[in-house]
């Protein structure tokens, strides 16, 4: 079963790249400035819980970001993406458990097929969210680090979460590269080994199935794409030398 | 300054796409080029905007043009993404349909086997094991599979009639042709057995494939070594 196409995550990535041009400190026409205000970078938006807002004693985020409703704590900024990834992953896990149950009871009816499709869909959704948020993690981490007072549980939790998600993002990039590398070595071992590998990595097919498998680099387009993404600093303000961005950059 | 980096990175990714050719499918390639070119154009616009911000007297017209271009490029990106999604969905559905059709066709070899068994039972001169073994070296497995799995579309009734007349009416063809259903002997055996075979064929809508036998064994061997034999299709 195919878990979808890489076109979906790439669409999400490119949309984000274009939308993030608003963080460039450019003087644009009024039409574009209005549109910048209305652009929604999250696929599905979730309101930040009031409890979290009450605990926010962080310093003010620069006006350049604040005008696009960006807060200071990592958890507040990352909340909608976090919820989306959580929904995708929990649905995927629930579907896998149901599948196991069906296999145990040797049921192969329409419900089994539906659960398989739902598992693939939810995994794809979670992957799209994860792919698209890698640069955000770095960006929000920098804002958090520069505005965090480190005086409460929430402030520490926010920073720890930021670091954990940064590690998770790096692991995802590494895992993509590792999966493709493994695929290449299995390809040399023969068809049977490759088939077994594909069967085992059914849900990770997204990372390598669409691509030309002639060599490691042509197959791992996601890898340069991932690398390009944080390298490009799509949230360019990290490199901005404007007065606002200096608040963020500071000693960096 | 960073906008120039962005343009350089976009150019690098386009070069990567061109030289490494990472996508298998045409739609994948097209989609990726489309996305990357739009990104490059957007970044070129931002580069021009940032460049003209450094001027003492920036032009409002250039700003308006570049801003409008970014807006239209974003619209093109969204429309393109939706279009590619629809293509993807269409492809998925058509692949599923094709898979279902193939699954249906997989029942054909089973039917063929049944027909063969019926024919062998019906024909008093059905080939022995030894004859089959003799036949095997020059009918390789792939060719046999391709014969049995060959799917024929309806609508070639003219060809069908021609083949039928060639097969049953000429003495030469009765010697020179060999069917995949081992019925050559039964054809030679006369009209009664022919009727019987036709009756059996009518029970199954499966097309019968007939292979032209080479004139002598040397030629046959040469043909096996050099090229695939010709197949003549008999619709029944």
- Residue A28's H or E segment, with its range, is none
Contact B67 A233 (CB under 8 A): no
Residue A124, Cβ neighbours under 10 Å: how many?
20
- What percent of chain A has pLDDT above 90? 8
For residue A41, the model assigns a pLDDT of 62
Q: How far is B84 from chain A (nearest CA, A)?
A: 8
Q: What would you measure as the largest C-alpha separation in chain B, in angstroms?
A: 102
**C-alpha pair distances (Å), A232 with each of A13, B7, B39, B110, B144:** 12, 10, 12, 59, 57
For residue B115, the model assigns a pLDDT of 55
Please indicate whether residue A150 or residue A235 has the higher confidence score (pLDDT): A150
- Residue B233's H or E segment, with its range, is strand B231-234
**The pLDDT of residue A73 is above 80:** yes
Rounded mean pLDDT, B227-233: 47
| B38 vs A: CB within 8 A | yes
Tens digit of each residue's pLDDT (9 = 90 or more) over B38-81: 999 999 999 999 888 888 888 889 999 999 999 999 999 989 98
| B9 vs A: CB within 8 A | yes
| B143 vs A: CB within 8 A | no
Contacts of A233 in chain B (CB under 8 A): 2
Q: Which tokens hold the place of B5?
A: 């980096």
Reduced to 3 states, what is the DSSP secondary structure of residue B212?
strand
Contact A32 B70 (CB under 8 A): yes
Q: Which of A212, A222, A238 to mutate to test the interface with B (most CBs of B within 10 A)?
A: A212
For residue B209, the model assigns a pLDDT of 46
Write out residues 62-121 of B within 8 Å (CB-CB) of A: 63-64, 66-68, 70-71, 73-74, 77-78, 81, 84-85, 88, 92
**The pLDDT of residue B82 is above 70:** yes
Q: How far is B158 from chain A (nearest CA, A)?
A: 43
For residue B164, the model assigns a pLDDT of 39
- What percent of chain A has pLDDT above 70? 78
Residue B21, Cβ neighbours under 10 Å: how many?
13
| Separation CA B68–CA B64 (nearest Å) | 6
| Radius of gyration from C-alpha coordinates of chain A | 21
Contacts of A24 (CB under 8 A, 6+ apart): A236, A237, A240, B2, B3, B46, B50
Instruction: State the helix-helix crossing angle for A153-189 and A134-147, rounded to 10 degrees.
Output: 150
Looking at the partner chain, which of B5, B50, B64 has a beta carbon nearest the beta carbon of A29? B64
Contact A212 B22 (CB under 8 A): yes
Whether B82 contacts B75, CB under 8 Å: no
| Separation CA A21–CA A240 (nearest Å) | 12
pLDDT tier at B217 (50, 70, 90 boundaries)? low
Looking at the partner chain, which of B32, B74, B78 has a beta carbon nearest the beta carbon of A10? B32
Strand partners, B151: none
Residue B230 DSSP label: P
Tens digit of each residue's pLDDT (9 = 90 or more) over B3-27: 787 888 888 888 888 888 887 788 8
| B32 vs A: CB within 8 A | yes
Q: Which of B10, B12, B20, B50 to mutate to test the interface with A (most CBs of A within 10 A)?
A: B20
Cα B105 to chain centroid, rounded: 14
Tens digit of each residue's pLDDT (9 = 90 or more) over A198-208: 888 877 776 67
Backbone angles phi, psi at A3, to 5 degrees: -90, 10
Contact A18 B42 (CB under 8 A): yes
| B20 vs A: CB within 8 A | yes
Write out residues 6-35 of A within 8 Å (CB-CB) of B: 6-8, 10-11, 14-15, 17-19, 21, 24, 26-29, 31-32, 35
**C-alpha pair distances (Å), B146 with each of B156, B193, B203, B213, B236:** 20, 28, 22, 17, 18
Contact B35 A14 (CB under 8 A): yes
Q: Residue with structure tokens 């590998």?
A: A197
Across chain A, how many H-helices and E-strands are there?
A: 12, 0
Strand partners, B23: A211
Residue B236 DSSP label: -
């Amino acid at each position: 079963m195919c878990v979808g196409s890489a076109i979906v995550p790439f669409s999400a990535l490119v949309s984000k790249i274009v939308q993030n041009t608003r963080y460039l400190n450019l003087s644009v026409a009024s039409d574009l400035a209005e549109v910048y205000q209305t652009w929604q970078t999250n696929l599905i938006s979730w309101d930040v819980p009031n409890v979290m807002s009450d605990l926010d004693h962080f310093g003010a985020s620069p006006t350049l970001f604040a005008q696009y409703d960006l807060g200071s704590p990592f958890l507040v900024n990352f909340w909608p993406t976090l919820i989306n990834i959580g929904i995708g992953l929990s649905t995927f896990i629930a579907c896998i458990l149901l599948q196991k149950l069906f296999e145990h009871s040797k049921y192969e009816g329409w419900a089994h097929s539906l659960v398989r499709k739902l598992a693939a869909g939810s995994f794809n959704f979670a992957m799209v969210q994860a792919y698209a948020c890698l640069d955000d993690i770095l960006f929000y981490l920098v804002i958090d680090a520069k505005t965090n007072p480190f005086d409460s549980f929430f402030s520490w939790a926010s920073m720890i979460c930021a670091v954990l998600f940064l590690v998770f993002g790096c692991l995802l990039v590494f895992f993509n590269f590792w999966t493709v590398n493994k695929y290449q070595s299995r390809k040399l071992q023969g068809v049977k080994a490759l088939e077994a590998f594909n069967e085992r990595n059914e849900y990770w097919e997204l990372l390598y199935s669409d691509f030309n498998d002639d060599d490691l680099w042509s197959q791992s387009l996601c890898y340069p794409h991932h690398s390009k993404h944080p390298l490009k600093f799509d949230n360019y303000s990290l490199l901005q030398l404007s007065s606002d961005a200096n608040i963020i950059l500071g000693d960096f | 300054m960073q906008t120039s980096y962005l343009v350089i990175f976009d150019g690098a990714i386009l070069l990567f796409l061109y030289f490494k050719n990472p996508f298998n499918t045409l739609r994948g390639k097209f989609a990726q080029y489309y996305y990357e070119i739009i990104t490059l154009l957007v970044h070129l616009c931002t580069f021009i905007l940032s460049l003209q911000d450094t001027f003492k007297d920036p032009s409002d017209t250039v700003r308006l043009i570049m801003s409008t271009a970014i807006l239209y490029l974003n619209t093109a990106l969204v429309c393109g993404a939706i279009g590619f999604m629809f293509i993807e969905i269409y492809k998925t559905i058509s692949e599923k349909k094709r898979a279902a059709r193939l699954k249906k066709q997989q029942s054909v070899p089973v039917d063929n086997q049944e027909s063969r068994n019926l024919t062998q039972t019906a024909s008093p001169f059905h080939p022995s094991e030894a004859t089959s073994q003799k036949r095997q070296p020059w009918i390789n497995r792939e060719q046999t599979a391709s014969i049995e799995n060959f799917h024929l579309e309806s609508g070639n009734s003219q060809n069908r009639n021609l083949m039928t007349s060639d097969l049953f009416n000429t003495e030469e063809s009765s010697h020179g042709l060999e069917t995949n259903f081992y019925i050559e002997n039964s054809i030679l055996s006369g009209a009664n057995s022919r009727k019987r075979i036709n009756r059996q064929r009518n029970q199954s809508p499966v097309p019968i494939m007939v292979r032209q036998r080479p004139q002598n064994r040397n030629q046959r061997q040469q043909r096996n070594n050099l090229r695939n034999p010709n197949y003549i299709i008999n619709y029944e």
